[in-house]
Structure 1
């Protein structure tokens, strides 16, 4: 049975809900081009001075570089750890599967402040607070549940017969994984990588507990600026972050759609 297309009513509700959720971010965009030094809406005049202030500031650029480095490290580490965990959860028949699932997904349901306090206590005991490895480890713990969920959704749809066929033809474990397992998992892995990077890029509460002057992240620096001064540069940075997140999601969506379409075309050619 072919899936039914959404009705006009559902499209309307979806668009309205989307606009409601996006309204706070959309309001920030015109405010970032204001000429005034205060955060007011509607903005006063038009100017790019606050974007120039961001790129000319050593503190802003240093915080952005730290967030980018930590985000990329978190993305790679969370995917490397999340891939085997997701495969284990998808294929295991152990009675302890529920316990393992709860342990992996626990950080996603625990309040962030509780996670921050526990993370600070643990990392202070081993002496890695205010360091790059400590931030990467903390962000990886937070990103891992979303990464596992994304890859698990693709892992549960794998056809084991394809792997058995590859093994019967003499393929080794690495060849089976590369040619029979990884290609259908790739869309889920790509989405998981985006989630891993986005989780680290936006994280502030845990970072406030374990960050230091040498590795101040962009969200932490934004928080300090909002608390101490009324600087429209914060709004300009927020606009760039929203634009970057939207761009990454659109690119990931397009790549996944193209891969799925090419896969359907290849399957049709093979069946024909």
Structure 2
């Protein structure tokens, strides 16, 4: 049943007030963290007694923080590429084929979304420990890929469901081969789904901390892991600066996705 906001009258403003309160509840902690990152106190004191950018300078000049930032970016980019490619292949197989056990296979692909991350992290840690992949870039990529892949399969699969497969049949009738049909017809038609899958995969890897803690080593760790370990030892405002950069980059990616989606509709 759809709500008629013209008949709600005063209730409409009540809903707006509740929505605004929820938004403030979710966003105010982020605003506080951003404010703390510019405070001139060496401790996390709010409100800050003064303002400075020294913590960002320290963040971007400290080799430990820079290496963690580069590791996060490297892992996220590799996970994004693999997640989109493998997610596309899996989504095409599920959407264009009928075979026994298809529902079970779909459920298997979505298992990482259902399992608690801690359970998955412990299992992968025990498995990777035997393979010697803990504390390696390969271990990070595989672990993050397992978490990100279900989101790619769902996103790309939804795009394929809304795509008219008759266009592929028409292209094949005109003489195009199977690969040419996928390249010239299918991929352009589902480009928004591919881009959304890339955004989700990147952000999942970029922000992942639980699994990364199990995969990390003293010489290789991502930015969220370094934030977590530093938070347990010292409440330096550099943590607030690193957290603000993580949030800011995430928001920029979401705004970019919204802008491209809006542009595609025009």
Q: Given the two structures, how large is their TM-score scaled by the length of structure 1?
A: 0.90
Structure 1: which 4+ aligned runs deviate by more than 6 Å?
3-7
Give unpaired runs (5+ residues) of structure 2.
Answer: 7-11
**Structure 2 partner of 1:267:** none
**Structure 2 partner of 1:155:** 160
Alpha-carbon distance, 1:21 to partner: 2.1
Alpha-carbon distance, 1:94 to partner: 2.9
Alpha-carbon distance, 1:255 to partner: 1.1
Pairing 1:59–2:64 present: yes
**Structure 1 partner of 2:129:** 124
Residue of 176, 182, 204 corresponding to 1:199: 204
Residue of 83, 91, 94 corresponding to 1:78: 83
Structure 2 vs 1, CA of residues 117 and 159 (structure 1 numbering), >3 Å: closer, same or farther?
same
Query: Partner of 1:156: helix, strand, or coil?
Result: helix
Alpha-carbon distance, 1:5 to partner: 9.8
**Structure 2 partner of 1:28:** 33
Alpha-carbon distance, 1:144 to partner: 0.6
**Structure 1 partner of 2:263:** 258
Distance in 2 between the 1:5 and 1:187 partners? 32
Distance in 1 between the 2:97 and 2:200 partners? 25
Distance in 1 between the 2:213 and 2:41 partners? 30
Alpha-carbon distance, 1:127 to partner: 1.6
Structure 2 vs 1, CA of residues 220 and 254 (structure 1 numbering), >3 Å: closer, same or farther?
same
Structure 2 vs 1, CA of residues 232 and 85 (structure 1 numbering), >3 Å: closer, same or farther?
same
Superposition CA RMSD, Å: 1.9
Distance in 1 between the 2:98 and 2:28 partners? 45
What is the number of residues matched between the two proteins?
A: 259
Give unpaired runs (5+ residues) of structure 1.
Answer: 262-272
**Structure 2 partner of 1:187:** 192
Alpha-carbon distance, 1:18 to partner: 3.1
Structure 2 vs 1, CA of residues 240 and 5 (structure 1 numbering), >3 Å: closer, same or farther?
farther
Pairing 1:113–2:89 present: no
Cα deviation code 1:154-184 (max 9, x no counterpart): 1111101100000000001121011211112
Q: Given the two structures, how large is their TM-score scaled by the length of structure 2?
A: 0.91
Alpha-carbon distance, 1:145 to partner: 1.1
Structure 2 vs 1, CA of residues 52 and 259 (structure 1 numbering), >3 Å: closer, same or farther?
same
Residues 161-240 of structure 1 aligned to structure 2 (within 5 Å): 161-240=166-245
Query: Partner of 2:190: helix, strand, or coil?
Result: helix
Residue of 18, 28, 43 corresponding to 1:38: 43
Structure 2 vs 1, CA of residues 157 and 241 (structure 1 numbering), >3 Å: closer, same or farther?
same
Distance in 1 between the 2:4 and 2:85 partners? 37
